[in-house]
Amino acid sequence: MASVTLRNIRKAYDDNEVMRDINLDIQDGEFVVFVGPSGCGKSTLMRMIAGLEDITGGDLQIDGTRMNDVPPAKRGIAMVFQSYALYPHMTLYDNMAFGLKLAGTKKPEIDVAVRNAAKILHIDHLLERKPKQLSGGQRQRVAIGRAITRKPKVFLFDEPLSNLDAALRVKMRLEFARLHDELKTTMIYVTHDQVEAMTLADKIVVLSAGNLEQVGSPNMLYHAPANRFVAGFIGSPKMNFLEGIVQSVSANGVLVKYETGETQLVLVEPGRAKEGDKVTVGIRPEHLHIDVADYGVSARIMTVESLGDAAYLYAESSVAPDGLIARIPPLERHEKGATIRLGATPDHCHLFNSDGQAFQRKIVEVLAA
Ligand SMILES: Nc1ncnc2c1ncn2[C@@H]1O[C@H](COP(=O)(O)OP(=O)(O)OP(=O)(O)O)[C@@H](O)[C@H]1O
Ligand SMILES: [Mg+2]
């Protein structure tokens, strides 16, 4: 087990800077998930930690030791990729034993390591099979098993479940949680899947275009995103953004006025906000309600999508360039083209300044506990 520390890490391919000044502290035994849009640098960061990619600037430490120039095999790390290339002509047993054999480990020791990993992953009854005789999920488990046999100090997983179907992903997600509980090894995990990130992570790291946007617990990122990017990235469907200006500031928060003349009170610390400042109100779909008594903006219903257990109402409004989405009870009936009023209670709203930075919500300590 080990801590991983990144200090001012940079990466450039020739003149193209793809990672900028990344600082991150991963504690011993933590499960850390990297998220961010395609091309933001998640894999690059992982590969630098693994030693598969040179570090252009900054320091990488594992358990307090500088690792920048240490070869991959000596870093105590095991990495599992999305494509988990198994050797097709070898049995599962041999696939899992291969790395240890290469490292010159003695046979009895290999046997213990392979059987132990297979047991942890519930594939001990399949050891004599070849990869083509397995399901996708079972193959993925062999790839993880191969990593476990090496007893790494840190596991790196780069989108390990993205080749699997939805049901299998859920199953494997639970397996990952169990695996982490059981091994208690530091794990770094990349995913595009919101649910995987929210459920597996002790800590989520949000990246965008080579910058670290925010690090925090899933609850913290959901309830107290530091900026508009994180607010829009975490949560699905994404947060609604409504453009307005500050009408007044009081002990109750900030009163925002939309160009329609309608208003929304937002419960945040006003900081330096003053009358006339351009701001953006953020409201999650589950908090955007129809015909709220005091606050809201008129919008025209575009369509309603029913998901069985809930429904999403899509509406358009001049103050929300990306449109509005409200989560509503499944059987509510709404007519396309009708005008409604959409708003939220002040404690459910977020507020961002014109640079996209979030105002501090007054109820964050409670929500993020
Ligand atoms: N060998 C390379 N040479 C030049 N640029 C590269 C190289 N590898 C990656 N990049 C660039 O670095 C950036 C980050 O790439 P990276 O693969 O880390 O993204 P990612 O976040 O893992 O994306 P995805 O979610 O699609 O896997 C991208 O802009 C990519 O084009
Ligand atoms: Mg990637």
Residue 364 pLDDT > 80, yes or no? no
Q: Take atom 2 of ligand 1 and give the residue whose Cα is closest.
A: 13
Cα(273)–Cα(228) distance, integer angstroms = 17
CA of 161 to the centre of ligand 2 (A): 13
Q: Is the Cβ–Cβ distance between 294 and 352 less than 8 Å?
A: no
Q: Which ligand is closest in space to the CA of residue 36? A: 1
Report which protein residue has its CA nearest ligand 1's atom 4. Answer: 13
| Nearest listed ligand to the Cα of residue 44 | 1
pTM, rounded to two decimals: 0.91
Q: Are 269 and 313 in contact (CB under 8 A)?
A: no
Secondary structure, 3-state, the chain: CCCEEEEEEEEEECCEEEEEEEEEEECCCCEEEEECCCCCCHHHHHHHHHCCCCCCEEEEEECCEECCCCCHHHCCEEEECCCCCCCCCCCHHHHHHHHHHHCCCCHHHHHHHHHHHHHHCCCHHHCCCCHHHCCHHHHHHHHHHHHHHCCCCEEEEECCCCCCCHHHHHHHHHHHHHHHHHHCCEEEEECCCHHHHHHHCCEEEEEECCEEEEEECHHHHHHCCCEHHHHHHCCCCCCEEEEEEEEEEECCEEEEECCCCCEEEECECCCCCCCCCEEEEEECHHHCEECCCCCCEEEEEEEEEECCCCEEEEEEECCEEEEEEEEECCCCCCCCCCEEEEECCHHHCEEECCCCEECCECCHHHHHC
Shortest-distance ligand to the CA of residue 53: 1
Question: Distance from the CA of 122 to the center of ligand 1, in angstroms?
Answer: 34
- The predicted-structure confidence for 248-280, as pLDDT tens digits, reads as follows 999 889 999 999 999 999 999 998 899 999 999
Q: How confident is the model at residue 326 (pLDDT cuts 50, 70, 90)?
A: very high
Output the CA 320–ligand 2 centroid distance in Å: 32
Banded model confidence at residue 139, pLDDT cuts 50, 70, 90: confident
Q: What angle do CA 265, 269, 273 make, to 5 degrees?
A: 80
Condensed to tens digits (0 to 9), the pLDDT of residues 25-61 reads 999 999 999 999 999 999 999 999 999 999 999 999 9
* pLDDT level of residue 126 (50, 70, 90 thresholds): very high
How many angstroms is it from 160 CA to the middle of ligand 1?
17
Q: Can you tell me which atom of ligand 1 is nearest the CA of 44?
A: 18
Q: Is the pLDDT of residue 368 over 70?
A: no
**Ligand 1 site-directed mutation target among 13, 17, 52, 193, most atoms within 8 Å of CB:** 13
Taking only the tens place, the pLDDT of each residue in 158-211 is 998 887 788 878 888 888 899 899 989 999 999 999 999 999 999 999 999 999
Give the integer Cα–Cα distance in Å for 9 and 141. Answer: 32
User: What is the per-residue pLDDT for 314?
Assistant: 97
What does the pLDDT look like over 59-94, one tens digit per residue? 999 999 999 999 998 999 999 887 777 899 999 999
Tell me how crowded residue 152 is: count the other CB atoms within 10 A of its CB.
20
Q: In angstroms, rounded to a whole number, what is the distance separating the alpha carbons of residues 161 and 158? A: 9
209 Cα: distance to centroid of ligand 1 (angstroms): 10
- Grade residue 340 by pLDDT with cuts at 50, 70 and 90: very high
Looking at residue 129, what is its pLDDT?
A: 94
Residue to probe by mutation, ligand 1, list 22, 44, 83, 213, most atoms within 8 Å of CB: 44
Nearest CA to ligand 1 atom 9: 44
Residues in the ligand 1 pocket, defined by CB under 6 Å: 13, 18, 36, 38-44
Atom 6 (ligand 1): residue with closest C-alpha? 13
In the chain, the domains with their CATH numbers are 4-229 (3.40.50.300), 238-352 (2.40.50.140)
Nearest CA to ligand 1 atom 17: 43
Predicted confidence at residue 28, as pLDDT, reads 96
Which atom of ligand 1 lies at the shortest distance from residue 53's CA? 1
Q: What percent of the chain has pLDDT over 70?
A: 98
Pocket test for ligand 1, best of 10, 42, 46, 188 (most atoms within 8 A of CB): 42
pLDDT for position 367: 54
Q: Which ligand has its closest atom nearest to the C-alpha of 209?
A: 1
Q: Check residue 6 and give its pLDDT.
A: 98
* pLDDT at residue 252, as a whole number: 81
